Amino acid sequence: MSHFQVRRVALSLQYDGREFCGWQRQENGLSIQAVLEAAISTLDPHRPIKAIAAGRTDSGVHAAGQVVHFDCSGPIPANRWASALNGRLPLSIRVREAVFRPNNWHACYSAIYRRYRYTVYNGCRPNLFLAPWSWHRYQYRLDENLMNLALQSLLGFHDFSAFQRAGSNRPNALTTIQEVLLERNGDLLEIEIQASGFLYGMVRLLVGQLVAVGEHKLSLADFERRWKEKRRSEVREAAPANGLCLIRAGYEESIFSKAAWYDSFPKQCLNLTDSPKEPPEIYCDN
């Protein structure tokens, strides 16, 4: 029996989601939650460990600023947890910072937003080093202006049933999209969506529709009609998991240092333009 009081630890966590079945522990597959809990247990064997995340990322999805909490009863100070865990975790999972929080603070329920970034590589040529982190769409030059107009229409509190995969246990599909951003840097398009909460598979289904708009295969009117009229059967293509990253979860008060949390996934600084300033509609060979 430990003589130390129970304390709540919050982690700023990064992971490469490619080798995992997602955040949540599952019977058939290796999850980030299971690996992290096993590492924590080696350092604090006095009590059962349950790690709670701000957002349950799906299989193959990455995180740059996931927030996790767990309760411990050992003597390790907060500033030692990050290095102690990193020495026990695979290189695909890194703890950037650890802090103590009040025992009633909750990584999921105390969060006021989650923010995801989806990266699309729109260059003609394949790029080995971008492949793990982006969706390569090369058949057409994407029209980012149309895509941005489609994104702006989503702002506010709405029913997003059209962007919810089957299997969700949520009682409804209502959520508030607080901010959206779409930026092109050469051949990289970065789409950021911030919401009070996300539905199961929401961002990947949404990005699949946005890319169809950008390729002029789906009109703005049809895009809006699909989600406003909850036409889930017409939303067929989901963007692949590898382009999606949970970049941060936000709280009323500051939890971590800016370097460990806000700047955990810096903007791409590459200029990867393959194409001329005024490319033809189809600019790559299929």
Burial class (CB in 10 A: 0-12, 13-18, 19+), 51: buried
Q: What angle do CA 143, 147, 152 make, to 5 degrees?
A: 150
Biggest CA pair distance of the chain: 71
Task: Please give the radius of gyration of the chain, using alpha carbons only, rounded to the nearest integer.
Answer: 20
Helices 144-152 and 202-214 cross at an angle (nearest 10°) of: 140
Q: Which residues are designated catalytic? A: 58
- DSSP letter, residue 24: S
Strand ranges (E), 78-146:
93-101, 113-121, 135-136
Give the span between the Cα atoms of 171 and 101, in whole angstroms. 30
Q: State the residue for tokens 């895509």.
A: 147
DSSP secondary structure of 200-243 = TTHHHHHHHHHHHHHTTSS-HHHHHHHHHTT-GGG--PPPPGGG
- Cα dist. 66→35, 48, 169, 198 in Å? 15, 22, 22, 14
Could you list the beta-strand ranges (E) of the chain.
7-15, 52-53, 62-72, 93-101, 113-121, 135-136, 156-159, 174-185, 188-195, 244-250
> What's the token pair of residue 52?
């709670």
